[in-house]
């Protein structure tokens, strides 16, 4: 698995953002991505970050992330970014106003 992430100088809705700009999984069905995602979400919750996964092209990945409570702007067939904060976070209702 390869991941490229950054958090420097990013802020949306008044929150710092952990941006995942690239994810490559070389061996599927091993649970690596779901484990990684759980750790990223826990880190973001602990640090009060907004988690953003950029340029989600695969509709299968997009549907998976929606099941994991990510919010996407635009139509399902469009390439876009997914955003996540815990549902009890005050900015959660505003996620659908963020850019693709």
| pTM for the model | 0.81
**Full pLDDT tens readout for the chain, 100 residues:** 455 656 566 778 888 888 887 766 666 676 778 888 999 999 999 999 999 998 887 888 888 999 999 999 877 777 788 999 999 999 988 888 876 6
Q: What CATH number labels 2-97?
A: 3.40.630.30
**For the purposes of burial, counting CB atoms within 10 Å of the CB of 50, is it exposed (0-12), middle (13-18) or buried (19 or more)?**
buried
Q: Which residue has the tokens 């990684």?
A: 36
pLDDT at 65: 92
pLDDT at 48: 92
Q: Which residues pair with 16 in a beta bridge?
A: 11
The total number of residues shown for the chain amounts to 100
């Amino acid at each position: 698995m390869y991941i490229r992430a950054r958090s420097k100088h990013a802020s949306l809705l008044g929150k710092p953002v952990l941006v995942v700009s690239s994810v490559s999984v070389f061996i599927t069905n091993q649970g690596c991505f779901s484990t990684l995602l759980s750790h990223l979400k826990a880190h973001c919750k602990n640090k009060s970050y907004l988690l953003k996964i950029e340029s989600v092209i695969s509709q299968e990945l997009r549907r998976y992330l929606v099941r994991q409570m990510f919010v996407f702007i635009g139509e399902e067939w469009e390439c876009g970014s997914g955003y996540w904060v815990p549902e009890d976070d005050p900015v959660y209702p505003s996620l659908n106003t963020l850019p693709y």
